[in-house]
């Protein structure tokens, strides 16, 4: 991630979300609270899944990795955002900016394929319940997790490689609260068309393959649910995938709105709001969505607490 010889800037300036001191203090308090909930929620999910034997299933294996990614996702962005909200100097080094971008893209791309793996898991559980223990073996689960991380690495590596070919010789002011691809692209004093095409192909392919997998899985799931005669059976089947479907809808809705468009159409206000949502809010929402709507997680928490009390 070394700079090109034609790049004159040594660092970038993150403009943040607002110039108002009062609003910055409000946002600092809000984001700090959200980040603490995110850390506690995702760390708690990982610990509960690890400590409770009854949650050692494929679905919760994927969920523990989702919590790990959300924790990483938020930690890459939020601490620097909090720092910039309370300090006058909002600069970030060239290397630091590209490092933040790398881990941000890595976490996002990995989460896309992790959500696809979770959708496939739900498909097998509902459409082929008798074969579920055989199909969703731990070997397959580990392979799907490994593939998700490898794809995330490839996407982030290509993104950084393409961005590193750009030259920045004029403005170094990023009109955003973190180092993201679109606001950095608009700062380049060279033609970014080829870079945009390559990034769009990789990011678009990641999103489309993931979305197609999820769509096909849920089309089969809904078809199977509709064939169930009893209302209770339909409700029970749908409840097993409702949390995941809600998480997928929120995550992909904001991602598609923000990224699947040319960088020239980048809008400071709308895109920043969407970015706040998927970088800061969603990592907090996921553990709440999967725990509050899931009786197994609640029961596991009770069992872990009872076991701890009995140990004392």
What does the domain layout of the chain look like in residue ranges? 11-310
- Which CATH fold topology does 11-310 show? Rhopdopsin 7-helix transmembrane proteins (1.20.1070)
In the DSSP assignment, the letter for residue 306 is H
Q: Which helix (H) or strand (E) holds 261?
A: none
Mapped onto helix, strand or coil, the DSSP state of residue 92 is: strand
More confident residue, 4 or 169: 169
pLDDT confidence bin for 90, thresholds 50/70/90: confident
Per residue in 200-235, pLDDT (tens digit) is 888 888 888 999 999 999 999 999 888 888 888 788
Confidence of residue 5 (pLDDT cuts 50, 70, 90): very low
- Which pairing describes strands 173-174 and 11-14: parallel, antiparallel, or unpaired? parallel
- Percent with pLDDT over 90 in the chain: 37
> In sequence order, which residues have a C-beta less than 8 Å from that of residue 29 and are 6 or more positions away?
none
CA separation for the pair 93, 109 (Å, rounded): 24
d(CA 269, CA 55): 42
Token pair of 278, please? 């998927």
Q: What is the mean pLDDT of residues 55-73?
A: 91
Which has the minimum average pLDDT: 30-44, 47-61, 286-300?
Answer: 286-300
């Amino acid at each position: 991630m070394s700079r090109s010889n034609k790049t004159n800037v040594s660092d970038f300036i993150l403009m943040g979300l607002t110039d108002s001191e009062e609003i910055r203090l409000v946002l600092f308090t809000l984001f700090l609270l959200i980040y603490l909930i995110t850390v506690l929620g995702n760390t708690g999910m990982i610990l509960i899944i690890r400590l409770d034997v009854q949650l050692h299933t494929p679905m919760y294996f994927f969920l523990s990795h989702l919590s790990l990614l959300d924790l990483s996702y938020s930690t890459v962005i939020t601490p620097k955002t909090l720092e910039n909200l309370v300090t006058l100097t909002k600069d970030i080094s060239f290397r630091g900016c590209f490092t933040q971008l790398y881990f941000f893209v890595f976490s996002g791309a990995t989460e896309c394929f992790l959500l696809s793996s979770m959708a496939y898991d739900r498909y097998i559980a509902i459409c082929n319940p008798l074969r579920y223990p055989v199909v969703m073996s731990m070997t397959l689960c580990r392979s799907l997790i490994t593939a998700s991380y490898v794809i995330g690495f490839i996407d982030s590596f290509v993104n950084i490689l393409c961005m590193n070919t750009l030259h920045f010789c004029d403005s170094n002011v990023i009109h955003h609260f973190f180092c993201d691809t679109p606001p950095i692209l608009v700062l380049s004093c060279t033609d970014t068309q080829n870079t945009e095409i390559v990034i769009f192909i990789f990011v678009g392919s990641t999103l489309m393959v993931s979305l197609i997998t999820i769509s096909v899985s849920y089309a089969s799931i809904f078809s199977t649910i509709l064939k169930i005669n009893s209302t209770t059976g339909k409700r029970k089947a749908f409840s097993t995938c409702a949390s995941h479907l809600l998480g997928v809808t929120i995550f992909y809705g904001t991602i598609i709105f923000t990224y699947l468009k040319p960088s020239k159409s980048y809008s400071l206000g709308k895109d920043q709001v969407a970015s706040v949502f998927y970088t800061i809010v969603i990592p907090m929402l996921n553990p709440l969505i999967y725990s509050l709507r899931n009786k197994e997680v609640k029961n596991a928490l009770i069992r872990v607490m009872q076991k701890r009390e009995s140990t004392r």
